[in-house]
Amino acid sequence: MTQIKIVRTLRDLRGQIWEWRGSGETIGFVPTMGALHDGHLSLIRLSHKHTSKSVASIFVNPTQFAPGEDFESYPRTEEADVAALASAGCDLVYIPEPGSMYEENHSTSIHITGVAESLETDHRPTFFDGVAIVVAKLLNRCAPDVAIFGEKDYQQLATIRRLVIDLDMPVKIVGAPIARDAHGLALSSRNQYFDVEGLALARKLNVIMQDCAEKMRGGMNVDLAAAQAKQTFLDTGFESVDYVSVASTHSLTPLAGGILDRPARLLIALHCKGVRLIDNCEI
Ligand code: PAF
């Protein structure tokens, strides 16, 4: 198991990064909010394929939670997270001291249009502003060569790609395939909120999504297939569906007239026993 280094100050983080850079190492970075599962660890393992050193961060970012969301109750499992990162071969974990990420007079915001509009933003209007500022700060702090983000948060990944292009940030963004459990449920820190019944229902999300994608691939109008899938989710017992949408793989623009005329992604957000789930797949 790698001897993982834990740093809590920006000074210590930069000191270690500069030391590594001085000896020719390259840096891969995996930002997280902790409550780590095998999906996160797969990002660390992917980072090793790109760079010689891997760095993770653990920071539950308050600015990406809206009032009434689960910021306070978000699982905080630092000790287990550090052990899991070490087992995946992570070299360093940056756990910023509380209060050190946003100074009291923090006044800068980043608002991204285009890919960051619609879908999640229709339901969580300030989410990507919060993600953009924290990811920009973490990338500036860590200065990695490569940063890895999971495709489960597909719109987030597209938004971060836009962010680093628009702000000329010298980092390569790599998307990692969605990690799923043996029943196809996309791994998520929030899955631990489920009881047995909730988990059984949540596992039907991927089944219905794959069936919908198959119909679209088979030539069914994507708007019709999406509407049918939405109804199936409700009939199956999901409380409500935020969206079942099809968007162009790269720009995330909707397909006109429901015609599958370019590479596209099926994206879904819904509520399952009090937990909001998102998932997606290539069509
Ligand atoms: O995907 C997440 O866990 C978070 O949105 C991120 C990228 C770590 C920013 O807080």
What is the phi/psi pair of residue 229, to 5°? -65, -40
Q: What are the structure tokens assigned to 212, written together?
A: 């919908």
* pLDDT for res 43: 98
CA distances from 261 to 11, 158, 209, 221, 264 (A): 50, 20, 20, 11, 8
Residue 40 annotated to the active site: yes
Residue 142 pLDDT > 70? yes
Residue 47 pLDDT > 80? yes
pTM to 2 decimals? 0.97
Q: Measured from the CB, is residue 159 less than 6 Å from ligand 1?
A: no
Q: Which residues contact 73 (CB under 8 A, 6 or more apart)?
A: none
Percent of the chain with pLDDT over 90: 97
Q: What is the pLDDT of residues 85-141, one digit of tens each?
A: 999 999 999 999 989 999 999 999 999 999 999 999 999 999 999 999 999 999 999
Mean pLDDT of the chain: 97
Q: Measured from the CB, is residue 185 less than 6 Å from ligand 1?
A: no
* pLDDT for res 98: 83
**Closest ligand 1 atom to 60 CA:** 10
State the pairing for strand pair 146-150/172-176: parallel
Domains of the chain by range and CATH?
Answer: 5-176 (3.40.50.620), 189-282 (3.30.1300.10)
Q: What are the structure tokens assigned to 54, written together?
A: 């891997």
Q: Which of 37, 40, 123, 271 is catalytic?
A: 40
Residue identifier of the C-alpha nearest atom 3 of ligand 1: 32
**Closest ligand 1 atom to 131 CA:** 9
Residue 2 pLDDT > 70? no
Cα–ligand 1 centroid distance for 160 (angstroms): 10
Q: Measured from the CB, is residue 31 less than 6 Å from ligand 1?
A: yes
* pLDDT for res 155: 98
* pLDDT for res 1: 64
| pLDDT category of residue 256 using cuts at 50, 70 and 90 | confident
Q: What is the pLDDT of residues 180-211, one digit of tens each?
A: 999 999 999 999 999 999 999 999 999 999 99
